[in-house]
Amino acid sequence: MLNTLFLSPTSACFELKNDAPYFAPEHYVYALDGQELGESSVNVLSLFGLTPGSAHSLRLRFSGGGETSVSFRLPKETCALDVRGFGARGDGLADDTSALRAAIAVLPEGGRLFFPPGVYRTLPLFLKSHIHLDFAAGAALLASPERDQYPVLPGTLPDLEGGEELHFGAFEGQAKPMYASLLTAQYARDITVTGPGILDGNGEIFWKDFFELPAARPRLMFFNRCRGIRVHGVRARNSPSWQIHPYYSEDLGFYDLSVEAPKNSPNTDAMDPESCDRVEIVGCRFNVGDDCVAIKSGKIELGSTLNRPALRYTIRNCLMEAGHGAVTLGSEIGAGVKELTVSQCCFRGTDRGLRIKTRRGWGQNCRVDGVTFENICMDGVLTPITMNMWYNCCDPDRESEYVWSREALPVDERTPSLGRFRFRNIRCTNAHAAALYVDGLPEMPVEEVALENVRISFAQDAKSAVPIMKNFASPCRKLGLYFDNVKRVVLRNVTVHGAEGSPLLANHCGEVVTEGFHSEE
């Protein structure tokens, strides 16, 4: 069955409905209105360069002989304008900033700004509500190398009429001054950005001396207090820091994106939705220098004052490679994370699959609950599943006895908590450090970790590594399922292959249910 995932006036995105992670069970050829366009082997398929308001039929023919099809009609638009009509040259040499800013400023509501093939060098651009930016194949928006010309946005400013402070800049869980991002939207709604062109953050100009900068590095795309954002098909790369950063926004969709950065580039997370509600990330490919998806909700200050959890996130049919974590929760999760579902994803060569980072001092609002991972494949991941309530990075107190003491300390307003976690239908091959590493607090154990139909095997030449970042951590190799301070552990049809030593270690745990737990040499 083929479902329509997203439609813009010029593009369409579709998803095959099955349980297979990222890759389709069968190779297929696709045709639009009877004309064959190409072939694919993944579950999410996109079309670009379509005509607004047009009706079409898409048909897929599978290698095994079956077929599926869907009919759709694209939405209309009020107008479409070419950026060259405003003086943009797109030669990669001229500064197109003034032309592009003027084009965005005068674009009528419901209109589309079209970028034909070319390289458009520009300083940060500021988006407004009800517009569509459309990048053709061969079009690239390139961030200007003139760093001193980037506007610096304040973290907050007071309302002169006595209202609440308004937020404009942020980084790593705090409101703080930041350089404007290549695409910046503030307090806006109904913005669409479509590909298949390139957004290039030219991050090298910020990577070398970022500790000395007077403001936080820009993102590639920053959406602050926005609603109804859709990004489809673009190739995002080389951001100065986090690539795509939605901040206190809602109703967001990111479809069939490619997000890239060199493995050694600092803090180039692919997608960091922070304190957002209703986020959908589907069919994306991530290969970056830090976490692939990092879900955040602010440090303890914002977690306690604004208390906006990351809520109702869906991540599906994505391929994540070479990041520190495939899906990371934290480290800035002062308001917690609730209702996260990750399904049909492939993780390759990441340090961790699921990575949760929290610790004492991050506050009682820092609660993670309702997390489900299902139909996931992992290969070459150092440690597939980690939950760390002893994280020792960020903030001055990270090496204090309060953080590292293994004694049960009093539960108070500073104590975080981890709730219920479900892992179903997961296959992990070529793991290295540990199959799973869950380390809760003695005074606040993890409530429940349930694994069902899970198989984890180690690489023959597995390398030793630290499974989680905590004080006094020791590297390990081929460690089995490790649980410490968990109220309830459930293992149903779970197999660990190639562990050295005991395949199951459960320290300071309450109920441990094993219904079909197997260990293989």
Which sequence positions are flagged as catalytic? 290, 324
C-alpha span between 177 and 332 (Å, rounded): 17
* Distance (Å, whole) CA 245 – CA 274: 7
Residue 270, both tokens: 């692919």
Long-range pairs of 465-468 with CB within 8 A, sequence gap ≥ 24: 465/351, 465/382, 465/383, 465/432, 465/433, 466/433, 467/352, 467/382, 467/383, 467/386, 467/433, 467/434, 467/437, 468/383, 468/386, 468/388, 468/390, 468/391, 468/437, 468/439
Residue with tokens 């419901």: 110
The whole-angstrom separation of Cα 264 and Cα 259 is: 15
Could you give the CA distance from residue 189 to residue 249 in angstroms, rounded to a whole number? 9
Please name the residue ranges forming H helices in 293-393.
Answer: 300-305
Q: Record the tokens describing residue 348, joined without a space.
A: 């390759």
What single DSSP character describes residue 324? Answer: S
Tokens 């099809």: give the residue. 69
Q: What length does the chain have?
A: 521
For residue 152, the cross-strand partners are: 179
Q: Alpha carbon 422 to chain centroid distance?
A: 20
Q: What's the CA gap between 204 and 202, in Å, rounded?
A: 6
* DSSP code, position 476: B
- What are the structure tokens assigned to 428, written together? 């992990």
3-state secondary structure labels for all residues of 49-82: CCCCCCEEEEEEEECCCCEEEEEEECCCCCEEEE
User: 69 Cβ partners below 8 Å, 6+ apart?
Assistant: 2, 57, 58, 59, 60
Which residues in 215-308 belong to E strands, given as ranges?
221-224, 227-232, 235-237, 244-247, 250-255, 258-260, 277-282, 285-287, 293-295
Beta strands in 344-478 (DSSP E): 346-348, 352-357, 367-379, 383-388, 417-418, 420-431, 434-439, 446-458
Interacting residues of 133 by C-beta distance below 8 A, sequence separation 6+:
112, 113, 115, 127, 183, 191, 192, 193, 194
